Amino acid sequence: MIAEEYKQMLGKKSVIREIAEYGAERAKEIGYEHVFDYSLGNPSVPVLQAFTDKLIELASSSDPGAVHGYSPSLGIDSVREKVAQSLKRRFGMDYQKEHIFMVSGAAGGLAHALRAVTVKGDEVITFAPYFPEYDPYVNKTGAVLKVVPANTADFQINFTEFEKMLTPNVTAVIINSPNNPSGIVYSTDTLKQLAQLLQDKEKEYGHEIYLISDEPYREIVFKNVDAPYIATFYQNTITCYSFSKSLSIPGERIGYIAVNPACKDAALIVNICGQISRGIGHNCPPSIIQLAIAEVIDMTADLSVYETNMNILYNELTNLGFSCVKPGGTFYMFPKALEDDAVAFCKRALKYNLLLVPADSFGCPGYFRIAYCIPTEKVERSLNAFRKLAEEYKK
Amino acid sequence: MIAEEYKQMLGKKSVIREIAEYGAERAKEIGYEHVFDYSLGNPSVPVLQAFTDKLIELASSSDPGAVHGYSPSLGIDSVREKVAQSLKRRFGMDYQKEHIFMVSGAAGGLAHALRAVTVKGDEVITFAPYFPEYDPYVNKTGAVLKVVPANTADFQINFTEFEKMLTPNVTAVIINSPNNPSGIVYSTDTLKQLAQLLQDKEKEYGHEIYLISDEPYREIVFKNVDAPYIATFYQNTITCYSFSKSLSIPGERIGYIAVNPACKDAALIVNICGQISRGIGHNCPPSIIQLAIAEVIDMTADLSVYETNMNILYNELTNLGFSCVKPGGTFYMFPKALEDDAVAFCKRALKYNLLLVPADSFGCPGYFRIAYCIPTEKVERSLNAFRKLAEEYKK
């Protein structure tokens, strides 16, 4: 039988796609360089040269065993070891190989982590604005995703609302800092308060509440921003990392799950991830990519352009009267639209060849996302379009 | 909550792993070159040079958009197009891009295909001997796997038993030809009879029965063996292909699902596969690997060594009194053990540093698998070990 549950997912045409399609049409008419495409979170900076060099070296081998062979389902041993050592070196925590599971990007990591620590009927909490793909990751485990409303003052956690939503059915909490789409980084205060609350509730409920920390933007943090390593605050943390943004290789599907060494059942969770892979036919991330990232484990591409772009846009937009919390990292910015209906606002922006994404699907209506992972010269050329757009609302 | 369903999968230590571990220990003592490791289906022939060349060329690009960017969830358009054109050229069927879904190897293809066309309570049938990972692929959709007993005379399909097991609950049938572990290729007669039976039952039951054809060994077929393209026989065929064996790159996780253009809901099934990916956090197979295989789509590595190895082993083993159906393809051979208990037989073989796999987990007790994807000189050196092993049973 055709699986209706998946067929139904097809029905909904997303606004984001509609905007992307409009953009593609416009690009045909006026050239892509004249379309200010702020709609997609595709890294734009050149791939780290050391990664490219290593990849070429590995690709040059024709020995299927050495480079292109099956990886163990938990990941290549030497790669897991290097990831653990790097985390240990950088964050002073006692990660070992057995705490690391190699995954196909943060998406694969989140879906695995959720399957490992939730069962049918569990509740999982996350915080608006949030990445809408959390819905299928959670729902397909049989658990239910509950979303804490945004704290639009600073996009830190809305603890009052969060506490109201905590029940004994909550077994996992997903956070994403630096955050897509707000660009905000959770402060030390926020993380301390979060950890204390979860610890208290664990005691009260008599079971673990796993903190699943989605960290693809960990390496994109701007100057003087307080951005501590999240797992240091809370034992039962499962960190999901991706090299997509730090190395500019989102299509190569590589990341890891790092379970806090102090987490309850840490090594068991890693082994369970291997069994989850069996059920979905996911044998391992690509071997050659695992081997390549292991050699550049402490390095990143030159990510400085994102902060340059952020500053240009933040200054211009706030001058134009946009209300916006200054991003602490990522390549996203999250202003309030100039009318209540952000979809209508983003559609109006198309007139000026500006592709912006309304935040309704991120659980935060009235706001829009700017993905400024585009060349700086294009950011500069786009300012006039923003000016014209703002002008419309002054009439 | 820790997911018990996956935790329980961890409990069972497989005999295959036990044998592999013994082999690893022996290798430390006497050197790996003296261990005749016939336990693993890891391709041993050098990677196709044209693939390596293309991979180096692609890896040399530091433009994240051109090579390392996100692929659409159905696969890169140009790659899907090239796969479709290749199938059209080779098998004369009207495949188009919309019938192709790029996957992470045949494992990913099977798991996706099963999720697309089965729902909770459905029955899925396969034929012994069969790849034991079909169990988790099927069970995790909520369907139930039923296994038709082996036809040990020639390892074609046991139609009498198969027909008895067909019920209106059956919505999918999995076949694997050339077959792991028997090495047998289904004949034109078998496939015609299979197609006729399934068509009749579709009419009788009033619903589709999808034929899911697992074809990672399609390109390893020996001289003068009748090996027709399976989808030509039956409209509702979903072909799951992998480049792991044809190019010797199993770790790079690349393959495709090709839905027969005449299949009911063909394009819908492909789109549903994209939605299934969302639920498991599988965005796409690695972009660089997709781009590389597309350039060598009609080529394979030099696979001739497998037939050479097969002939050497088949001749020696049948001379020694083993009962064995001659393989038509793959790099597996499937003789009857020299005692009823194939596990005991394979444990005895360890004495001679022979790593063989008992076929109990393949649903065919009393037989064992030889994976002869090892260098020919090692095959030749191993013959004496087989002789000594056979000698034991003459006492």
Burial category of B26 from C-beta neighbours within 10 Å (exposed 0-12, middle 13-18, buried 19 and up):
middle
Interface test with A, best of B52, B62, B68 (most A CBs within 10 A): B68
**Binary contact (A281, B64; C-beta < 8 A):** no
Find the closest chain A residue to B50 by CA distance: A62
**Binary contact (B280, A283; C-beta < 8 A):** no
- Answer whether B141's CB lies under 8 Å from B114's CB: yes
Question: Which is the CATH superfamily of the domain at B4-47+302-392?
Answer: Aspartate Aminotransferase, domain 1 (3.90.1150.10)
* Model pLDDT, residue B13: 63
Phi, psi angles (nearest 5°) of residue A278: -60, -45
| C-alpha A127 chain-centroid distance | 13
Alpha-carbon distance of A239 to A230, in angstroms, equals 8
Per-residue pLDDT tens digits of chain A, which is 395 residues long: 888 988 888 876 677 778 888 888 999 999 999 999 999 888 989 999 999 999 999 999 877 778 999 889 999 999 999 999 999 999 999 999 999 999 999 999 999 999 999 999 999 999 999 999 999 999 999 999 999 999 999 999 999 999 999 999 999 999 999 999 999 999 999 999 999 999 999 999 999 999 999 999 999 999 999 999 999 999 999 999 999 999 999 999 999 999 999 999 999 999 999 999 999 998 889 999 999 999 999 999 999 999 999 999 999 999 999 999 999 999 999 999 999 999 999 999 999 999 999 999 999 999 999 999 999 999 999 999 999 999 999 87
* Model pLDDT, residue A323: 98
* Model pLDDT, residue B24: 86
Determine the longest span between alpha carbons in chain A, in angstroms. 68
Per-residue pLDDT tens for B140-154?
999 999 999 999 999
Rounded mean pLDDT, B153-182: 98
The CB-based long-range contact list for B56-61 (8 Å cut-off, 24+ gap) reads B56/A56, B56/A59, B56/A60, B58/B288, B58/B291, B58/B292, B59/A52, B59/A55, B59/A56, B59/A59, B59/B288, B60/A52, B60/A56, B61/A47, B61/A52
Alpha-carbon distance of A70 to B183, in angstroms, equals 21
- Answer whether B264's CB lies under 8 Å from B208's CB: yes
The mean-pLDDT minimum among A372-376, B162-166, B283-287 falls in: B283-287
Alpha-carbon distance of B372 to B376, in angstroms, equals 9
Instruction: Write out the residue limits of the CATH 3.90.1150.10 domain(s) in chain B.
Output: 4-47+302-392
User: Residue B193: pLDDT above 70?
Assistant: yes
Query: Mean pLDDT across chain B, nearest whole number?
Result: 95
> DSSP 3-state assignment of A214?
strand
Instruction: Write out the residue limits of the CATH 3.40.640.10 domain(s) in chain B.
Output: 50-294
B50-294 is classed CATH 3.30.420.40: no
Per-residue pLDDT tens for A272-309?
999 999 999 988 899 999 999 999 999 999 999 999 99
| B residues 36-75 closer than 8 Å to A (CB) | 42-47, 49, 52, 55-56, 59-65, 67-71
* Model pLDDT, residue B356: 97
ipTM of the shown complex: 0.95
**Contact B371/A at CB under 8 A:** no
Burial category of A107 from C-beta neighbours within 10 Å (exposed 0-12, middle 13-18, buried 19 and up):
buried
Which chain A residues are Cβ-neighbours of B136 within 8 angstroms? Answer: 275, 278-279
